[in-house]
Amino acid sequence: MLRSILARVFQTMECYLQGFEEDGACTEGYSYWQYGFGYFLYFLDLYEQATGETSRLLSRDKVHKIAQFQQNIFLSSNFVVNFSDAIPMAKPMLGFSHYLYHKWNDIHLPAREHGQFQIIDHCGRWAPAFRELSWYDSKLPGNNWPEKTVLFEESMIFLSRISIYAFAAKGGHNAEPHNHNDIGHFILLGGNEIFLKDLGAGQYHKDYFNDKRYDFICTSAAGHSIPIINGKFQRDGKEYKAIPLKSDFSKDEDIWQLALEQTYPEPTLLAYNRRFHWKKTAKPRLFLTDVFQFKKQPSSIIESFILEDRSYRLFDDYILFEGEEQSLKFIFDSQLTPIIEQQFFTNHQGEQEGFLRVQFPLVDLEQEIEVIFTLEFC
Question: Average pLDDT, whole number, for the chain?
Answer: 96
Which range has the worst mean pLDDT, 66-75, 125-134, 146-155, 284-293? 125-134
Are the beta carbons of 213 and 323 closer than 8 angstroms?
A: no
Are the beta carbons of 227 and 233 closer than 8 angstroms?
A: no
Tell me, what's the pLDDT at 147?
Answer: 96
Query: Of residues 44 and 120, which shows the higher confidence score?
Result: 44
DSSP string for residues in 211-277: TTGGGSTTTSGGGSS--EETTB----EEEEE-EEEEEEE-SSEEEEEEE-GGGS--TTEEEEEEEEE
Query: Of residues 118 and 75, which shows the higher confidence score?
Result: 75
Tell me, what's the pLDDT at 56?
Answer: 92
Phi, psi of 137 (to 5 degrees): -120, 105
Tell me, what's the pLDDT at 2?
Answer: 81
Which range has the worst mean pLDDT, 68-72, 120-124, 156-160, 212-216? 120-124
Statement: residue 124 has pLDDT above 90? no
Q: Report the half-sphere exposure of 365 (CA within 13 A, side-chain side).
A: 17
The stretch 315-338 carries a mean pLDDT of 96
Report residue 306's pLDDT band, with 50, 70 and 90 as the boundaries: very high
Instruction: Please tell me the total number of residues recorded for the chain in this structure.
Output: 378
Statement: residue 267 has pLDDT above 90? yes
DSSP string for residues in 75-124: EETTEE--TTT--SB---BHHHHHHHHHH-TTPPPBPGGGSB--SS-TT-
- pLDDT tens digits, residue range 226-266? 999 999 999 999 999 999 999 999 999 999 999 999 999 99
Are the beta carbons of 304 and 358 closer than 8 angstroms?
A: yes
Tell me, what's the pLDDT at 3?
Answer: 84
Statement: residue 1 has pLDDT above 90? no
Tell me, what's the pLDDT at 275?
Answer: 98
The stretch 324-349 carries a mean pLDDT of 96
Are the beta carbons of 13 and 19 closer than 8 angstroms?
A: no
What amino acid is encoded at 223 in this protein? G
The stretch 6-27 carries a mean pLDDT of 94
**Percent of the residues in the chain that have a pLDDT greater than 90, as a whole number:** 94
- pLDDT tens digits, residue range 179-204? 999 999 999 999 999 999 999 999 99
Q: What is the pTM of this model?
A: 0.96
Select from 313, 328, 257 the least CA-distant residue to 288: 257
Tell me, what's the pLDDT at 240?
Answer: 98
Which range has the worst mean pLDDT, 2-6, 79-83, 348-352? 2-6
Statement: residue 122 has pLDDT above 90? no
**Percent of the residues in the chain that have a pLDDT greater than 70, as a whole number:** 100
Tell me, what's the pLDDT at 312?
Answer: 98
- pLDDT tens digits, residue range 212-223? 999 999 999 999
Tell me, what's the pLDDT at 304?
Answer: 98
Quote the CA–CA distance of 233 and 257 in Å, as a whole number: 20
Neighbours of 102 (CB within 10 A): 12
Are the beta carbons of 93 and 209 closer than 8 angstroms?
A: no
- pLDDT tens digits, residue range 42-72? 999 999 999 998 999 999 999 999 999 999 9
Statement: residue 121 has pLDDT above 90? no
Helix (H, G, I), strand (E, B) or coil at 329: strand
Statement: residue 303 has pLDDT above 90? yes
Statement: residue 123 has pLDDT above 90? no
